[in-house]
A and B are shown apart, each in its own frame.
Chain A
Amino acid sequence: MARRKDRGAPEVNAGSMADIAFLLLIFFLVTTTIASDKGIMWTLPPKTDQPPPEVKENQRNIFKIQINSSDKLLVEDEPLDDVRKIKDMVKKHVLNYGKDPKMSESPQKAIVSVKANRGTSYEMYIAVLDELEAAYNEMYAERAGITVDEWKRLDQSNPRMKALYDKARDGFPKQISIAEPSKI
């Protein structure tokens, strides 16, 4: 009788399994988009039928920003080229405490008013909103005694952080008014 050869256990070649898995892995890595719900948060004013109330505030308290349809800025009735200057101007205006007769009397009374045009680009509008947010975030962070990054990350469900948040916001409202855009 012929001696049977010792073949051993039959094996499937699994060497390329890793390659196949890698291929799939790379496909999922590439197609995955991490959905981001990040942005500038804003609360719109409630809808009322009454016409807006007459401005009782002293004109000096209002910091006016106007944007026209070709994205040119008019800040406090002066043309402004660089959006990035708004941040410091707003901070100066709000933190004036009545020193300069042209600027706000106190942070409680300070109002920032933004008026865009229907032809203003969204990019410009966001740039202005971003500057205003930045100005107020910096002022709040300073009041709370933390850095701006820490301020932005404050978790309001945490009581200790909430106390810090409330302390900074107390008597220092963020009053930004966005007017309905004018038609051309």
Chain B
Amino acid sequence: MSKFKKKTATKQDIPTAALPDIIFMLLFFFMVTTVLRETEIMVEQKIPRATQLKKLEKKSLVSHLYIGKPKKVDQFGTEPRIQANDAFVTPDDLILWVQQEKDKLSEADRDKIWVSLKVDHEAKMGIVSDVQEKLRESNARKVLYNVIQTAD
């Protein structure tokens, strides 16, 4: 008989003890990078598509306005409304809102404020132009029309 008897004691399975650690690492990564929305959007938001997008570099300078038909139609009606932070506002309130948003920024950045308009595709230009008029009045003239990249 052969002198070299094969050792059969070697284990065949891959150790999976470290698998949970790997998954936890991924989990923590996603937990840390997730930004929870602080405002609940109360208007419908089907954003139109376009091709010529540019990215805003400084996110701290952006304030968001949402325009669209309210989701709770029985409570707020079907007319498109403007949502700033957590509440519906009228165009006249926007001057005060811009001031508040500007106050949140540092002194040097006050005039660099960007207003991002997230407007539902069904909204009419009437309400959008009212908003633009007020933004011009309150000297927040840099506007970002939030759109989605056309998939092509």
Contacts and interface: CB of A to CB of B under 8 A. Distances in A.
B19 interface: yes
A9 interface: no
A122 B46 CA distance: 11
Contacts of A121: 121-125
Contacts of A119: 124-126
B53 A40 contact: yes
A28 B35 CA distance: 11
A40 B144 contact: yes
A122 B141 contact: no
A41 B125 contact: no
A53 interface: no
Contacts, number: 146
A133 B122 CA distance: 22
Interface residues of A, number: 45
Interface in B108-152: 116, 119-126, 128-129, 132-133, 135-137, 139, 141-149
Contact of B26 (A25, A33, A127, A130): A25
Given A40-B50, A40-B52, 15 more contacts: A21-B24, A28-B27, A36-B146, A38-B149, A39-B146, A41-B145, A42-B143, A42-B145, A44-B135, A44-B143, A118-B124, A122-B122, A122-B128, A126-B147, A134-B51
Interface string B49-73: 0111111100100100000000000
Interface of A: 14-15, 17-18, 21-22, 24-25, 28-29, 31-33, 35-47, 116-123, 125-127, 129-130, 133-134, 137, 152, 180-181
Provide the main secondary structure of the chain A interface: mixed
A125 B135 CA distance: 18
6 contacts: A37-B56, A40-B144, A42-B145, A44-B136, A126-B145, A134-B52
